[in-house]
Chains A and B, each alone.
Chain A
Amino acid sequence: MLGRGLKRKLSDYEENMAGLSSAFDSSRNLPYPLKRQLVLNMCLTKLQTYKMLVEPNLHRSVLIANTVRQIQEEMRQESNQQPINVCPGITPSSHSYTGMESSGIPLQLPSGISQQESNCCDLRSVEDPIENSLLIVSDDDMSSAISSILKDLDFVEDISPPTCLVPTGDDQPKFPENTGLKLEDDRQDLKGAECVFGSFEISNSTSYLKDLAIDDIFEDIDTSMYDSDFCCPPLMPPRPPSLATEEPLKTFPSCNSSSASNIQICRTDLSELDHIMEILVGS
C-alpha cells in the first residue's frame, strides 16, 4: 500500500525579521546595568510566555532560567559589595529606565521593613536613582519563578496528589488588591494561565510559597489605590497562587510611592479574598 504524504509549505514571510534592532546591540553607549536589565526583562518575559504554553520547551526554558540565575547572581554579588543593605523591594519593569520619576526612585515598602532600612534605601536611591532601581530584584521572586516553571515542566512523572491551599495562620498569603485591577489588561494572560493549570497540578507551584516570607511576595504592590475612598475591594477572579507571585515579573505601571498605613487599611479586605481563594482553589 503506497502511502501518500501531503506536502505542506511554511508560508513565506514577506518582510525580513526586524530582529537586529535591539537597543542592546545597536547602542554602544548603553551602560552595563541597563543592558543587563534589558536582558533580564526579556528573559522573564519569555519565561512568562512559556509558562502559558501547554507544553513549554524544556531546552529553552532551562537556558533562559540559567541566564536569569546568572544575572541574578551577578546582581547579588554587586549588592553584597555595597556597604548599606539594599531594600529587596524594588522590582524592575520593562519601562524601568524610561518610566522613572526624575525626583527619585519610588519605593514599595513592605510593612515588615523597618523605618531605618527604608531611610537607607531612600538615601541610596537619591544618590544614584537609576542604577538602584535597576539593580535590585527580589531574589526570592526570581528563584521562585524559575523553580515554578521548572517544576511545572515535570508534568508527567511523579505527579503528587493534589493538595488544597491550606491556610496556616500568618503564613497565609494575602493577595494584592491591585492585581484585580491589573487583570483588566491581563485577561488573556489569565486565561492562558488557567489553561496551564488545567493540566498541571496546582500543588506543584505552591510548594515554594510556604518558604517565602509573606511580605517578600508583594513588596512591589502598587498600593496607591488603597485610599479611603475604597470601601469594598473588587472581587478578584480566581487565581492560582503562583500566578499571583509572578506578578512582580510582569511589566508594571509606574510605581507610585505609598505609605505603609494604606497597606494596613486593606489587610482585612485581603483576608476576605484569601478566604474566597481557599474555597475556589480547594474545590
Chain B
Amino acid sequence: NKTPSHSRGEYNVYSTFQSHEPEFDYLKSLEIEEKINKIRWLPQKNAAQFLLSTNDKTIKLWKISERDKRPEGYNLKEEDGRYRDPTTVTTLRVPVFRPMDLMVEASPRRIFANAHTYHINSISINSDYETYLSADDLRINLWHLEITDRSFNIVDIKPANMEELTEVITAAEFHPNSCNTFVYSSSKGTIRLCDMRASALCDRHSKLFEEPEDPSNRSFFSEIISSISDVKFSHSGRYMMTRDYLSVKIWDLNMENRPVETYQVHEYLRSKLCSLYENDCIFDKFECCWNGSDRQVYIVMTGSYNNFFRMFDRNTKRDITLEASRENNKPRTVLKPRKVCASGKRKKDEISVDSLDFNKKILHTAWHPKENIIAVATTNNLYIFQDKMN
C-alpha cells in the first residue's frame, strides 16, 4: 500500500527528555519514583505532538514540537538578541525564515497532580479528545485536559475497612468511539464496563466480563495468574483484548460470560508457577496490542520471557514466536521463528523451558497505527521491526 518511505528501516533517537523527577512526600515519608508507568499519545491536531506520561502519582501533558527554521533579519534586534539602538537603524528589511538544524523541544503544558493515593497504573484518552481517565489500584479519576486543579472520581472500589480488600484495579481504558463508556480490569480477572451517563460514581457496572474458572487448571496460583495486566479495545470498539499471566483473551462486548478467543502465550510455564511465584516473575505485567488499523488483518501481539514476543493471527489462527535480540539477529535479516520445548526431547533449534532467561522479559510492545511496523522493548533496548518488503 504505502510507498516505501520506511523501507530503509533505520531509526534514530528523535528526542529525549526527562518527564518526571523523583519526589519526596514529606507527609508520608515516602519517595515517589520518577519511573514512568504509562505514556499515551494524543491525536495530532497541529504540527506539534502531545502526549500524556505518568509516574505513580502525577500525570503530565507534554508538547513536543519541531523547529527547523528561525527568523533572521530583525530590524530592532541583533542576531544574538540584543536590542539595537533605534537611532542606528537606517534601512528597513523584512525578516525571513532561514533553515536551521532540527531542534526538538519538549515542554510540559499541564501537570495533573495530587489526585491519586495509590499507584497510577493506567491513563486513557477519551474519544472526545477533551477528557481522559487515570486509574490507580482503587480509584479512577476523570480529568479535563485543560484543567489541572480538579478531577472527578468515577470509580472507587476502596472498602470502608481495608481489611476487606480482596480486589484491585489493574488497568482501564476508554472505548474508542463511545465517549461515555470505559472498562477497567481487576486482579481477579474480571472486566467491568461502565457508562458514565448512568451515575456520577460508576460503582455499578453496566457489564461484567468474567470467564468461569477451568477446574482442571486449578492451582494455588489460579487467582494470581488470572490477574489482568492489560486491556485494549479493538479499533472498531466491538472487541476488547485482555492479557493475564499465561494468555491473551479476546472478548466480544456483547458476550459477558466468556471470551470469544483465547490464545496461550506460554502455556509451558503453567507447570512452573511455583518457581515463578518464588522469584516474583508471576507478578510481571505484560501488555498486549492490536495490529494497526488494516481492516483485512487482525493480529494481536504480546511479550514473553527470554526476549521472545508472540503474535496471533485471529483469521488464520496461526501464531509465531520471535526474538528481539542483537546476538541472534543482524539488522535487515528476517526474524526466525522460535520454539520452546515444554518437555520431552528437545528438537534442534528449540529451547527448553529451563533454559529460558526470566530476566529478559518483554513487557511492552506497540504496533504502528497504520503501517506494519512494531516496536518491542527489552530491558535495555528498543527494537523496531517491520514487515518484510517483497
Contacts and interface: CB of A to CB of B under 8 A. Distances in A.
A2 B358 contact: no
Contacts of B16: 3-5, 7
Interface string A40-65: 00100000000000110111101111
Interface stretch (A76-84, A153-161, A224-232): A153-161
A63 B31 CA distance: 24
A240 to B, nearest CB: 16
Interface in A20-57: 20-22, 24-25, 35-36, 38-39, 42, 54-55, 57
Given A1-B107, A62-B166, A198-B29, A19 B275 contact: yes
B118 A58 contact: yes
A71 B223 CA distance: 12
A35 B16 CA distance: 49
Given A3-B18, A150-B163, A21 B105 contact: no
B167 interface: yes
B262 to A, nearest CB: 21
Interface stretch (B125-133, B277-285, B290-298): B277-285
A5 B64 CA distance: 14
Given A16-B359, A54-B29, A150-B165, A25 B220 contact: no
B11 interface: no
B187 A10 contact: no
Interface string B222-262: 01100100000000000000000000000000000000000
B276 interface: yes
A9 interface: yes
B384 interface: no
A70 B162 contact: no
Contact of B105 (A2, A22, A154, A155): A2
Given A70-B223, A151-B163, A19 B103 contact: no
Interface stretch (B85-93, B146-154, B266-274, B368-376): B266-274
Contacts of B167: 62
A111 interface: no
B383 interface: no
B18 A157 contact: no
A13 B361 CA distance: 12
A24 B359 contact: no
Interface residues of B, number: 51
A156 B220 contact: no
B217 interface: no
Contacts of B354: 20
A156 B119 CA distance: 12
Contact of A62 (B165, B278, B379): B165
Interface string B145-178: 0000000000000000011011110100000000
A147 B275 contact: no
B162 A150 contact: yes
A55 B30 contact: yes
Contact of B220 (A16, A39, A59, A62): A39
B113 interface: no
Task: Please classify the interface of chain A as helix (H, G, I), strand (E, B), loop, or mixed, using the class held by over half of its residues.
Answer: helix
A199 B162 contact: no
Contact of A66 (B118, B223, B353): B223
A4 B355 CA distance: 39
A153 B162 contact: yes
A65 B356 CA distance: 29
A251 interface: no
B279 A19 contact: yes
Interface centre among A54, A60, A65, A157 (most CB of B within 10 A): A60
A70 B163 contact: no
Contacts of A62: 165-168, 187
Nearest to A2: B105
Nearest to A63: B224
A42 B18 CA distance: 38
Contacts of B162: 150-151, 153-154
A149 to B, nearest CB: 9
Contact of A21 (B138, B275, B380): B275
Nearest to A71: B220
B168 A58 contact: yes
Given A54-B29, A59-B170, A62-B165, A25 B271 contact: yes
Interface of A: 1-7, 9-10, 12-13, 16-17, 19-22, 24-25, 35-36, 38-39, 42, 54-55, 57-60, 62-67, 70-71, 146-147, 150-151, 153-157, 198-199
Given A59-B283, A155-B28, 4 more contacts: A39-B277, A59-B227, A63-B187, A64-B224
Interface of B: 16-19, 28-31, 103-107, 117-119, 137-138, 162-163, 165-168, 170, 187, 220-221, 223-224, 227, 271-279, 281, 283, 353-359, 379-380
